[in-house]
Amino acid sequence: FRCDSGIITLQASANTGTINWYTTATGVTPIETGSNFTTPSISTTTTYYVETTTLSCASRRTAVEAKINITPTIINTNSVPNCGPGLFTLKATPSAGTINWYSQIGGTVVGTGTSFTTPIISTNTTYYAEATNNGCLSAKTPIDLIVYTPPAVTDQQVPICIPETAHLDASIPNMTYLWSTGQMSQTIDVPTTGIYTVEVFSPENCKSTKTITVFEYNKPRLFRILNRRKGFSKF
């Protein structure tokens, strides 16, 4: 066989007589004589026929297939992002056959099939997909694995002096925010104690969650000294 259009050299052997090649199972003049026959350029699988002849008789013609396999292509591959280190699931679709996966351009096959899950990847890297169909291989197609860094948040404790409000800040500018209160700004003001969270989304849509605990200051006490014999009073 061969991959894609072109010529194919067919071979046959016999213990006696002359080997003749034909395009049909019966009739017509042979198109070639001898143990080797090179086809014209063909683009699809084509059947030829071969026989041996002596002065008195000929053998039954034997079908010989000049097989054309089409080199597959990879229809779709895309870069694969992930928020932080982790496993990546890679996918590719071949026009025919299946996919071989490589972790380096000149390496060995690390997986087969239209999807493949990598080991844990912590930095940007590249894998390669190769379509294979009956011995015909496509070029290796690079697939970039991109590791995005989620927003670096730090939990906080914030005091409040009731009836005043506490000012809460996600502390990372130029992001997208979603507070547990439903608000979507970087900062909010809250009137009560409690635990508040804010989801911080990076431009790559990586999310981190910050927790802010709002607690009440101990209320101060004020003592008043009374100008009388018996001590003081407080309020």
Whether the CB-CB separation of 44 and 108 falls below 8 Å is answered with: no
pLDDT (tens digit, 9 = 90+) per residue, 61-85? 999 999 999 999 998 778 899 999 9
SS (H, E, C) 93-156: EECCCEEEEECCCCCCEEEECCEEECCCECCCEEEEEEEEECCEECCCEEEEEEEECCCCCCCE
Structural tokens at position 80: 């694969």
The pTM of the full predicted model, rounded to 2 decimals, is 0.70
Comparing C-alpha atoms, which of 14, 76, 81 is closest to residue 50? Answer: 14
Mark the ranges of the chain whose per-residue pLDDT is less than 50: 231-235
For position 234, what pLDDT does the model report? Answer: 47
For position 232, what pLDDT does the model report? Answer: 45
What are the distances in angstroms from CA 145 to CA 6, 136, 157, 201? Answer: 38, 27, 37, 20
CA dist., res. 112 & res. 153, Å (int): 39
CA dist., res. 170 & res. 175, Å (int): 9
H-helix or E-strand spanning residue 160: strand 156-160
Count Cα atoms within 13 angstroms, Cβ side, for 203. Answer: 2
In 10 A of CB 111, how many CB atoms?
16
CA dist., res. 129 & res. 77, Å (int): 8
CA angle 64, 68, 73 (to 5 degrees): 160
CA dist., res. 12 & res. 162, Å (int): 99
Cβ burial, residue 152 (10 Å; 0-12/13-18/19+): exposed
Which residues, including other chains, have CB under 8 Å from residue 154's CB and lie 6 or more apart? 171, 210
Cis amide leading into 85 (omega within 30): no
pLDDT (tens digit, 9 = 90+) per residue, 49-59? 999 998 878 88
